[in-house]
Amino acid sequence: MGGKTKKPISAMEKQQKLREMKEKRAKEKEREERREKKITSPLLPLEVAKQLENELNNMKCITPHALATRFGLKIGVAKSVLRELEQRGILNCVAKGSRISIYTPVSLTSS
């Protein structure tokens, strides 16, 4: 006559924790799928290098952050690429601080 009794609080807590863990795992999988792979190698692929050369002349000022976000590079790789382009004479360093360097294409600085 009594009917169904409630589960103990400890059992309900365990079920709640299991549900939360499953949701957390599902969210982590979604984040991993959304995350873009960034280029971490100091050597750029040819397609990115060609794109980079075409886009540099269109940009007024070039920072490592701008380069990294536009081409999907890591900041350290972007810094090394900019230094290399400066040594080649394609870019000119306008301002340099302890953390950031600002570059412009040589064609803009010479005009």
Residue 82 near residue 103 (C-beta atoms within 8 A): yes
Q: Does residue 102 share a domain with residue 75?
A: yes
Total domains in the fold of the chain: 2
- Residue 86 in domain: yes
Q: Does residue 58 share a domain with residue 100?
A: yes
CATH number at residue 50: 1.10.10.10
Q: Which pLDDT does position 55 carry in this prediction?
A: 83
Q: Does residue 25 share a domain with residue 77?
A: no
- Residue 88 in domain: yes
Q: Which residues of the chain have pLDDT under 50?
A: none
Q: Which pLDDT does position 21 carry in this prediction?
A: 95
What are the residues whose beta carbons fall under 8 Å from the beta carbon of 70, sequence distance 6 or more? 55
Domain containing 17: what range? 8-37
What are the residues whose beta carbons fall under 8 Å from the beta carbon of 102, sequence distance 6 or more? 61, 62, 63, 93, 94, 95, 96
Q: Does residue 77 share a domain with residue 24?
A: no
- Residue 2 in domain: no
For residues 99 and 79, what is the distance between their CA atoms, to the nearest angstrom? 10
Give the H or E element holding residue 26: helix 9-34
